[in-house]
Amino acid sequence: MQPLLKVENLVKHYAAGRSAGTKVKLAALDGVSLSIPSGETLALVGESGSGKSTLALCIACLERPTSGNIWFEGIDVTALDENQQRLLRPQIQLVFQDPASSLNPRWTALDIVSEPFLVQRHFTKPDRAVRALQLLDRVAIPRKMAARRADELSGGQKQRLAIARALALEPKIIILDEALSALDCSVQAQIANLLLELQCSLGLTYLFITHNFAMAAHLADQIAVMDRGRIVESGPAENVLRSPRHQATRSLIAAMPRFIETPGVLVHS
Amino acid sequence: MGGKCLPLVQEMTLLLEVKNLHASYSARTGEVCPALSGINFELGPGEILGVLGESGSGKSTLAASLLQLLPASGKIRQGSILFEGKNLLKASPQDLRKIRGGRIGLIFQEPSSSLHPTLRIGQQVSDVLAAHMSLDRGALNEKTSQLLASVFSVDAERISRSYPHKLSGGQRQRVLIAQAIACGPSLVIADEPTASLDPTTQKEILQLFRTLRQNLGLAMILITHNPALLAGFADRILVLYAGRVAEIGPAAKVLSSPQHPYTVALLRCLPTDFDEDQNARRTRLHVIPGDPPDLSSLESGCRFESRCTERMEVCKCDEPAAAAVSKLHEVSCFKFAG
């Protein structure tokens, strides 16, 4: 069975100014390959600057790779033109780390989840309202909050709203780029549960990008580790966690703050 | 309110004593929101206190209150803050200016917005020194180099000549630390200093704090919502909930055998360590039901009552006072009331 998403040898260069007369290129992605089966979660972990967000932007068709291919349900996305890509974008959604900058603070919750319907010109006005309320239900935002402005919502509610908006056009895959990182621990647990539940009921596929290894370990079917624009290790989550092979993976596991109990004493590993 | 049962710190001279601190914000509508209610804690020289609190717990209000940096809408209503024997709430504006940055260093969350974008790093560190000390140019440059060398093991010279945008998040945070310790303070207050940093950098920054504590005898108040950050780092932990101290005690004790139902619930929300239980992966995490209370319309009784799995009748009527559960460990919960 073909994977939902397959990335092969993806390269993305950015121009980084001039040095001694020659143009300097920055290889944000230096030959990345991965694949995600439908309905699964791939956690992509790595340090800042490893290229995780660049990869997210390329997969979501918001950046054009320099070379390489991205296949979505067997379609070569990189070979499509702008118009064709626009038709595909609803199926690949993004949720970012900072809901405050990805949600218009002056819009109401209802307006925010309805916006995708307006942009893609789906449904009549009454239909939009019904569907928007259903989306809020789905992410457990009480209906009485529907008329509240985004800046009146808590961090956790904003992130639920961002997820509801991502669900509006019934995507196949959601890319979550550090989507839990700015939230309090108890709220992270709530959103993690919501993500698992939505995956179960809607058959969603997730690309979960994070530097929080503990949360990646909790949510992932597969883990891929990125280092300086390349995937240096990947495989089933249990394997990567129990027997990490690459130095970058071992460093990330070692840097993870963990509670290790020796009788009566907790130490930082 | 919440009287102390035991002296929590053995030292004869406490560095900081906060007693019965109350602070609130006034909305334009006239509503008063009590952000801190009856905060008590002590800090000894060279001690690291972790303040653990989620959004709305009052942790940033606490940081701001300690240095009298509350916004116009905020006010300290009651209490005392004794620092090196001096009550900060009664200090003159000139004295406060000398203390802030001089005796107490501050590190806040956003390194990218705390540094001036068009001044070189060396200049920005020198400026802090110049504000508090009268040094000639030569001495200023010497001290700046020393400071940067104490936080950057390599490349301190190059960093000194650089502009902030050339530095990574971790490097910028080190610069803020250099500024915070520039005048040899006895206390540094850091509010989520590693929030935007990745794990390896976080670990390095914590190690830097440990080294500075060792070399300079620096005490620290580290404010965070992440319990894991405090494991193996803080000496003691103060758990803040809805503006009150829920629990305070030795870090290892609070993390391994939390006593307050909120602390217990909070620590249970964390994903289980994957080495401990493989079957816990991809299962529902524990959550704390409900939401923190709306502080502008508080009802009587314990502030955690509506979310507490162990609530009793008395919890609805009164606020629990702090009670000792063991040496140096206090909890504000009716489970432990005498």
Number of helices and strands in chain A (H, E): 10, 12
Closest partner CB to B199 (pick from A189, A190, A213): A213
Q: Which of A192, A219, A266 sits opposite B255 (nearest CB)?
A: A266
DSSP string, B241-303: ETTEEEEEEEHHHHHHS--SHHHHHHHHTSPPPTTT-GGGTTSPPP---S----GGGPPSS-T
pLDDT at B198: 84
B37, β-bridge pairs: B22
> Model confidence over B36-81: pLDDT tens digits?
999 999 999 999 999 999 988 999 999 999 988 899 899 999 999 9
Alpha carbons A197 and A191: distance in angstroms, whole number: 10
**pLDDT tens digits for A242-252?**
899 999 999 98
3-state secondary structure of B311: coil
Interval B90-149: pLDDT, tens = 999 999 999 998 899 999 876 667 899 999 999 999 999 999 898 999 999 999 999 999
Asked whether the beta carbons of A158 and A152 are under 8 A apart, the reply is no
Q: How far apart are CA A33 and CA A10, in angstroms?
A: 7
Q: What's the CA gap between A81 and A72, in Å, rounded?
A: 15
State the CB neighbour count (10 A cutoff) for residue A102: 18
Is some CB atom of chain B closer than 8 A to the CB atom of A257?
yes
Mutate to test the interface with A, among B274, B294, B295 (most CBs of A within 10 A): B274
Name the residue in chain B with its Cα closest to that of A242: B275
DSSP-derived 3-state class of residue A52: helix
Which residues make Cβ contacts (< 8 Å) with residue A61, sequence separation at least 6? A77, A85, A88, A89, A92
- pLDDT band at residue A267 using 50, 70 and 90 as cut-offs: very low
As given in the structure block, the two tokens for residue A162 are 């961002």
Query: How far is residue B254 from each of residues B225, B230, B249, B250, B286, measured CA to CA in Å?
Result: 15, 10, 6, 6, 19
Asked if A219 has any chain B CB less than 8 Å from its own CB, the reply is: yes
The three-state secondary structure class of A201 is helix
Check CB contact of B265 with chain A, cutoff 8 Å. Answer: yes
Interval A6-32 mean pLDDT: 82
Region B27-36: what's the mean pLDDT? 87
Cβ contacts of B288 on chain A, cutoff 8 Å: 186
For tokens 């590190």, the residue is: B107
Q: Which residues of A touch B226 (CB under 8 A)?
A: 185, 257
- Chains A, B: CB pairs < 8 Å: 117
pLDDT tens-digit readout, B141-198: 999 999 999 999 888 999 999 999 988 888 999 999 999 999 999 999 999 998 878 8
Q: Mean pLDDT over residues A154-175, rounded?
A: 94
| Secondary structure element (H or E) that encloses residue A72, with its range | strand A67-72
Q: Which has the closest alpha carbon to A110: A88, A90, A78, A139?
A: A139
> Would you call A251 and B278 a contact, using CB atoms and an 8 Å cutoff?
no
Rounded to an integer, what distance in angstroms lies between the CA atom of residue A43 and that of residue A208? Answer: 5
Please tell me the predicted confidence (pLDDT) of residue A94: 94
Other beta carbons less than 10 A from residue A114's beta carbon: 22
Q: Are B273 and A259 in contact (CB under 8 A)?
A: yes
Mean pLDDT of A158-184: 94
- Please give the Cα distance from A97 to B168 (Å, whole number): 19
The 3-state DSSP class for residue A127 equals helix
Check if the beta carbon of residue A240 is closer than 8 Å to that of residue A247.
no
Residue in A50, A266, A269 to test binding to B, most B beta-carbons within 10 Å: A266
- Please tell me the distance from the alpha carbon of residue B38 to that of residue B28, in angstroms, as a whole number: 24
CB spacing of A268 vs B232 below 8 angstroms: yes
Per the DSSP assignment, residues forming a β-bridge with A44 are A209, A224
Q: Which residues of A182-201 are buried (b: 16+ CB within 10 A; e: fewer)?
A: bbbbbbbbbbbbbbbebbee
